[in-house]
Structure 1
Amino acid sequence: PKKSWEGFAGSFISISLFNYILSFYYAPMSLSKMLLWGVIVVLFATLGDLFESFLKRVVKIKDSGNLLPGHGGMLDRFDATLFALPVSVLLIEYLF
C-alpha cells in the first residue's frame, strides 16, 4: 500500500539531487533539462515496476523467478530499467 507513491517520491528526490550535482560537472545539458529528464525517467521507471507487478498478478505468481530468493526474482531487479533505459536514451539522443 502506497509503496509505489513512496518509491516515486524517493526516486524523484534522489534523481533531482543527483542531477543538480551532476549539472555542475556535465555542461552540455542545462539544469532544467536534466531535471525534466529525471522526472520523465522516474515516471517510466515507476511504470516499468507497476507493469511487471501487473504481469505477475495476471499470471498469479508471487515472484518472477527463483534465482534471487526473497527478492521477487530476477525480473524484479530490472523491471524499472526495462522501461526507463530506452526512454532515457531516446530523450538524451533526440530531445536534449
Structure 2
Amino acid sequence: KRAIQKIANDDQKSILEDAKKQGVNKGVIRAITDAQKLRRKSEALAERAENKIDGLEEDDREFAVDIRQALGDDFASFGLGAAAVSREDADDDEEDGGQQD
C-alpha cells in the first residue's frame, strides 16, 4: 500500500510540476482536484443513502420513498433535514477516526 501511495504521490508531483512549467498556477490545479474529490465523495454518500432506503422492508421502503418525494430533493435545507445531515456527518467523522480528506 505504501509503495502504491508513493507512486501516486510521485505522479501527482510530476503532473503539478508539468502544469507549473506550462504556466498553470498550482492553486488552480488543486482547486480542480479538490472539487472532483468532493463530487466523488458526494456521489458515494448519495449511493450510501439510497442503500439505506433500499435496505428497508418493502412497506417501510415505500413509505420512505413517499416521504422523500414529498419533501423534495433539497431536504437538507429544512431544519429536520439539516439536523439529519449534521448527525450523519458526525457519524462519518467517527467512523473515519476523525480524519479528514
TM over 0.5: no
Higher relative contact order (CA 8 A, sep 6+): 1
Q: State which structure, 1 or 2, has the greater radius of gyration over its C-alpha atoms.
A: 2
Q: TM-score, normalised by structure 1?
A: 0.39
Q: TM-score, normalised by structure 2?
A: 0.37
